[in-house]
Amino acid sequence: MKIGELARRTGLTAHTIRYYERIGLLPFAIRDHAKQRDYDGSILPWIGFIGRLKTTGMPIRDMLRYATLRAQGDATAAERGALLEQHRARVRHHLAELQACLVVLDTKIAGYAGSARGSAGDAGGSKGMEPHHDAIQQGTREPVRAGPARPL
């Protein structure tokens, strides 16, 4: 299939496909008589897997490492497995962080829902203000006192 068809089927742009090929994330495509790239359909699952790695936040250097190991064959299966296990651990940690953020958002949303039924505009703090929170100023270890925040 030509690069335009591959782009349509994968959702990638032709530019991205050429870039992935250039850096070694995709194998070089064979060229037809007109010197145009001609991809075999067997590349589709690999591109799908790369997309999953990208979606889960794997750095491109790790994707390249995995692609290099994959190209070396079965002898690298253990190393590829270890690379994916490390990535899975990072994904699980990130998911836990996102779950904690969802709890905060749910609590905040519930506060706004309660304020719509109760007082006029009190969304989780007195007189419409958020409670003060101690924060660490970025780049220092000195605590700073946050002023009254506007509702988020």
| Number of alpha carbons in the 13 Å side-chain half-sphere of residue 12 | 23
Domain assignment present for residue 152? The answer is no
Asked whether residue 81 is assigned to any structural domain, the reply reads yes
Same domain, 76 and 109: yes
Whether 49 and 68 share a structural domain: no
Write out the residue range of the structural domain in which residue 17 sits: 1-55
Does residue 39 share a domain with residue 68? Answer: no
Number of domains, the chain? 2
Query: Is the same domain home to 118 and 66?
Result: yes
What pLDDT score was predicted for residue 47? 97
Q: What is the pLDDT of residue 114?
A: 82
Series of mean pLDDT values for 10-residue runs along the chain (152 residues): 95 96 92 90 95 96 97 97 98 97 95 75 48 45 53 54
What CATH number should be reported for the domain holding residue 24? 1.10.1660.10
The confidence score (pLDDT) of residue 12 equals: 96
Residues 42 and 22 in one domain: yes
Instruction: Report if residue 26 sits inside a domain.
Output: yes
Contact (Cβ atoms closer than 8 angstroms) between residue 108 and residue 124: yes
Q: What is the DSSP string of 9-78?
A: HHS--HHHHHHHHHHTSSPPPEE-TTS-EE--TTHHHHHHHHHHHHHTT--HHHHHHHHHHHHH-GGGHH
Q: Looking at the domain assignment, is residue 90 inside a domain?
A: yes
Are residue 69 and residue 50 in the same domain, yes or no?
A: no
